Amino acid sequence: MSDIFEKASTVMGSTRVYNTVVTSTVSVKASYKAISASRDSRIGIWPGFQATGNPVAIAAATDLEGEVTLTVQGYDFNDGPYTVGFIVNNNTGNDSICATVVLVNGQYLKSEVTTLIVTNQKNQDGKTYLTVQYSTPDGNTPNRSLDWIYLFNGSQVVSPGQAVQHTPVPSNDSRGSIVIVTDSPLTFGNDYIIEYNPGRSTTAISAYYTFKFGGR
């Protein structure tokens, strides 16, 4: 398959956090835009460069997009590093970190989102093998957080449900690759979509990637 065909037939998207501003020494305002609305989604803030451990403040982020304010007494958000993160937890006991913004001394340093891409696709022995490369924010632990990757027919984002195939992310590394093996071969030239499902939520999606199957 040519690079031109690949670029023309793929679309990707990610849940993100943006416009993160320190409004006072004890308050931070953040905007978010999600791929899907979910009752399992929240915005949190952590001291340091990663969203690890328990957040010191949290706010619901259940709409497709919105703005929240996090206020915590006893912290100075203008002093040192803090991470604002979009998180999902469907009673797993561990938050899945979908997107982050890092602030240092009240100023923006960097942002990270979840991404997916299919790097190899082939049919063999009546099955399809898709190599999927994923990347999540630093500090995320995909296996512990019960993150899964789903494959669906078509090019429209859908909630986790009747998938062609789905598989758990087997590692706690925040980025890596997995191979999805289908029970029957995919059809050459048809549209498909893979989605990153954080925390085994039945409604949350943190990234997607659409493609036309080019394997033989």
CB 129 within 8 A of CB 179: yes
**Residues in the chain where the model's pLDDT stays below 50:** 1-8
Domain ranges of the chain: 3-13+115-212, 15-112
What is the predicted pLDDT for the residue at 20? 97
One of 1.25.40, 3.30.1380, 2.60.40, 3.40.1130 is the CATH number of 15-112, namely: 2.60.40
Residues 64, 66: Cα–Cα separation, whole Å: 7
The two domains 3-13+115-212 and 15-112 share their CATH topology (first three levels equal): yes
Question: Closest Cα partner for 108 from 167, 28, 54, 162?
Answer: 28
What is the predicted pLDDT for the residue at 9? 60
One of 3.90.25, 2.60.40, 2.30.30, 1.10.287 is the CATH number of 3-13+115-212, namely: 2.60.40
